[in-house]
Structure 1
Amino acid sequence: MVIGGFVKKIQNIMRGDSGINGDAQRIEQMVWILFLKVYDVKEEDWEFHDETFHSIIPEPLRWRNWAVDTKDGAALTGQGLLDFVNVTLFPKLKNLQLDSRTPLRQSIVRAVFEDSNQYMKDGVLLRQIINEIDAIQFDDYKERHAFGEIYETILRSLQGAGNAGEFYTPRAVTDFMAQMLAPQLGERIADFAAGTGGFLTSSLNYLEPQVSSVGDRELYAKSVFGIEKKQFPYLLAVTNLLIHDVDSPQLFHGNSLERNVRQFKDQDRFEVVLMNPPYGGTEQENLKMNFPAELRSGETADLFVVLAMYRLKRDGRAALILPDGFLFGADGPKRAIKRKLVEEFNLHTIVRMPMSVFAPYTSIATNILFFDNTGPTERTWFYRVDKPDGYKHFSKTKPMLLEHFEGCMSWWDDRVELTNPKTGSFTAQSFTAAELAERSYNLDLCGYPRDEEEVLSPEETIDQYKRRRDELNVRIDERLMLIEQMLGAGK
């Protein structure tokens, strides 16, 4: 199977459908179909091992009973297929009856469909896509492995799919962070802003070689926990975990910030926390009340840092991706969060990443903060990952690779100060906790030379301007709405 060709073929079929507008919708359409295919294969396995298993999906709605085309002319297609999907399949899956006894592996069906969308208007094209996806045979190991690669290809394509790109952290980054934290079987790993599940699956890939028995496999399947606020990435993440043999994903659709952090008990905490929290957003005042007054930052990412601290077990370890603004931010709550991080946790490493790691979705400079709950910080090391020779910037066609972290990984266990021979600037440097306090917790250290300039291709430049224009339009609309509300209230 040619992986890239498979995904492109699906996307090209969808381009002929007038109901779909843009790559983000094409991906969303593809993924709910993939989920039903994956789930049906999982149900076959559950039925084989458990004679009492009964599907939560009504029999006529199970993939095997409507999607499979046996080439006898009876398969639904055209308007009949559209009517079935729009009038029967989606409404019934969105409203499946659940109770306290419903197993998690079944309740996820309703959870993933609650806010999913069916965009296509051409039933013949929809039939073509279903047939392509159904052709993947999970009973063949190579095909099953290929399916995982197909999913990775879909996730990578999110980087160029408008706002959908915010849900995807490059695989090299999630793998690097998982390898540095080195989770072990028996530990629980959490991501409270799970997105498409990249950190969880990188952790599972790290755990896989440790599995050598049935008991190990059970520990593996219970290792990861996640919460995701938005429906589309939640659907992606659930499917991602099913592909990785987590049959009952401990993955929940909700807002991690809705619980009062002061109420978490030890059973709510985790040995390992990996996250790329959303940044640039703000939270409502009622959510900020879930945090101590001095830590109530106006920025979403800052609140996730606080959440990670409160949900990290004693001796646990964490890694979070945060923008430069967190490092140099000096407002009261942001400074208080950094002081807590240094005084109560061991903030041992900050890895600075090039601006274009998340291109073309965003050019915001990001950093990885590594800390553990073993005691207060004595010394924090900063390591700058410079772009490799020949790279002016990373992009969708030239993404960051795990090998680009090799210098940092080699340095990790034998830390010394380093300088860039070309610029003379530090690429690895350490500071004591006292020195950080003297700087009022400005952590903008060991940074990139200020004359660094990102050079984008014409296509990426156009895409960046369009995205920036859309962001500004949204802000303008929000301000206008607020003004109109104020005017209306004054009448």
Structure 2
Amino acid sequence: MITGVLRNKIDGLWEVFWTGGLTNPLDVIEQITYLMFVHDLDDMDNERSKESVMLGLPYSSIFDRKVRISEELCDAKILKWSVFRDFPAARMYEVMQSGVFPFIKSLDSNRDSAYSQYMGDAIFKVPTPAKLTQIVDALDGIYGLMKQGEMDDTKGDVYEYLLSKISTSGTNGQFRTPRHVIRMMVELMAPKPGEVICDPACGTAGFLVSAGEYLRERYLEEIFYDKDQLNHYHSGMFFGYDMDRTMLRIGAMNMMTHGVRSPHIEYRDSLSDQNTDAGKFSLILTNPPFKGSLDFDIVSSDLLRVAKTKKTELLFLVLFLRMLKVGGRCAAIVPDGVLFGSSSAHKAVRKELVENNRLEAIISMPSGVFKPYAGVSTAIVIFTKTGHGGTDKVWMYDMEADGFSLDDKRSPVRENDISDIVSRFHDLPGEEGRARTEKSFFVPKEEIVGNGYDLSVNKYREVVYEAEEFPPTSEILAEIRRIEGEIMKGIDELERMI
């Protein structure tokens, strides 16, 4: 959540655009996004150059070429943020308009790529050199604060705050998943080289970015020293779909600045007939929108055959099963109602997971995890597509804390179950025999079936009530009279002193 000085800086940047005549919030957000991308390209290039020296990996800078600015042929390093930011206003404006924007639009030579689709129509709309100077200075100040604060995923918070200025944001039920929750889900699923990973409601591509970072940290040599694996990482591993073009543009840039050259970030209504993916992915990581209902007319008919419902949260679970290949895994955030809803559609989806696939885990999260954007109670559902059953017992965890207060302020606190969740999940044999009074425990399939496929953790967790004895009422009243007598004595002494 953006607060204090950083929030004021962003408001000030917005004001610069506003006073410059750019009053459409979407235009402002797009221009800020483009400029942040240009800034991040410089940072990314510097970071990759350092990595190549330290690790002995080959790296060719995107700025190692010539570009034409107006009629002048220049070294592309002039397009780096750290270089042109020091130019006089008129020269900076010329470089940005005639050099930087054509450059970022041509970064991907594949004209069919997601990046080309969403950056190909990028237009520089800053009206004057003076305004550009103010904007560059303001962005430098914002980046300085973000680095100074060392907050996790501050850039995501900045995007979220910018989007909050659009009155229509969130109307489809989307809200940003906290970075530490995304990271926890990635560590639970532990992706490996060769995976094909999808987020069918990707937003700014936070899950895909985190999965890419995880792979870079743990499989650097396996991926980056193998030509085929490296090519797969850059162009065949990551897929993301969304219906918001602003989110798609941000997602494509977010992936590219995190070192993935050609992610498949596409405009698509995942629940409609336009999504024909079936048996394609080995891993799905997602927090799909689950607000209200939608029209039957737009929903793919094969999804309705499993659960005839308008509830998006149920349809998405059926969709994940269709999109996964046999043996593919999924970790998805769902509202608590999915776990215990009594409608025939709710029961049909839960039965499909338990009887026809391998439901592995339910992690119940506290309702404050998504504050201040939403107070909904949610859970993480983890399953493997088998198509022929495999569920014998389900591991359940009652998460009570995520390292932040559960109010709108979301201040850091010491209580945090995340590392415990990850370590226990990766040592499930050690979970055998845990009592249901503990945070985690197994529930056998037979018991779940007997309870109408209810998957809510509270249904199975046992609460121990400790008896507490109180003294008789006569003793309490006598103690009150004694205390009252002492008070009256004190008042009498005060009167005598006066």
Question: What TM-score do the two structures reach when normalised by structure 1?
Answer: 0.70
**Does the residue aligned with 2:246 lie in a helix, a strand or coil?**
helix
* 1:37-436 superposed matches below 5 A: 37-38=39-40, 68-69=84-85, 71-75=87-91, 102-105=110-113, 108-112=115-119, 124-130=130-136, 133=139, 152-158=153-159, 162=164, 163=169, 166-208=174-216, 209-212=218-221, 213-215=224-226, 216-221=229-234, 222-259=236-273, 264-266=277-279, 269-290=280-301, 291-374=303-386, 375-387=389-401, 393-398=406-411, 403-412=416-425, 413=427, 414-416=430-432, 427-436=439-448
Deviation, 1:183, is 0.5
Determine helix, strand or coil for the equivalent of 1:441. coil
Are the aligned partners of 2:187 and 2:422 in contact in 1 as well (CA < 8 Å)? no
Query: Could you tell me how far apart the structure 1 residues matched to 2:200 and 2:128 are?
Result: 38
Which position in structure 2 is the counterpart of 1:18? 18
Hey, what's the Cα distance between the residues in 1 that align with 2:378 and 2:123? 32
Quick check: 307-316 or 127-136, which moved more? 127-136
| Contact kept in structure 1, 2:200 and 2:242, CA below 8 Å | yes
Q: Deviations over 1:369-400 (max 9, x none)?
A: 010124431111221011379x7625444268
Quote how far apart the aligned CAs of 1:359 are. Answer: 0.3
Please say which of residues 118-127 and 245-254 is displaced more in the overlay: 118-127
Rounded Cα–Cα distance in structure 2 between residues aligned with 1:59 and 1:366: 58
Match of 2:473 in 1: none
Shift in Å, 1:75: 3.0
Please state how far the C-alpha of 1:159 moved relative to its aligned partner: 5.3
* Separation in 2, partners of 1:51, 1:65: 8
- Measure how far apart 1:210 and its partner are: 0.5
Return closer, same or farther for 1:40/1:102 CA change in 2, 3 Å cut-off: farther
1:132 shift after superposition = 5.6
Query: What RMSD over aligned residues (CA atoms) do the two structures have, in Å?
Result: 4.8
Q: Where in structure 1 are there 5+ consecutive unaligned residues? A: 138-142, 450-491
Q: Which residue of 1 aligns with 2:484?
A: none
Query: Which structure: larger Rg?
Result: 2
Residue 468 of structure 1 corresponds to none
Please state whether the residue corresponding to 2:417 is helix, strand or coil. Answer: helix
- In the alignment, structure 2 segments of 5+ residues that lack a partner are 50-57, 462-498
Q: Relative to structure 1, is the Cα distance of residues 150 and 436 closer, same or farther in structure 2, using a 3 angstrom cutoff?
A: closer
Residue 179 of structure 1 and its aligned partner are, at CA, apart by 0.6
Kindly indicate whether the alpha-carbon contact (under 8 Å) linking 1:377 and 1:433 is maintained by their aligned counterparts in 2. yes
Identity %: 25
1:333 Cα deviation (Å)? Answer: 2.1
Q: Matched residues in 1 for 2:346 and 2:124: separation?
A: 42
CA distance in 1, matches of 2:45, 2:181: 33
8 Å CA contact 1:104–1:249 kept in 2: the answer is: no
Letter in 1 for 2:384: D
Q: Cα 1:329–1:402, aligned 2, differ >3 Å: closer, same or farther?
A: same
Confirm or deny that 1:437 pairs with 2:449: yes
Deviation at 1:435, TM superposition (A): 2.2
Pairwise CA distance, 1:72: 4.0
How many residues align? The count is 422
- TM normalised by structure 2 equals 0.69
Q: Contact conserved, 1:173 with 1:402, CA < 8 A, in 2?
A: no
- Distance in 1 (CA, whole Å) between partners of 2:209 and 2:118 is 20
Q: CA offsets per residue over residues 232-272 of structure 1, 9 Å max, x none?
A: 221221121111110112211222222377x6454xx1111
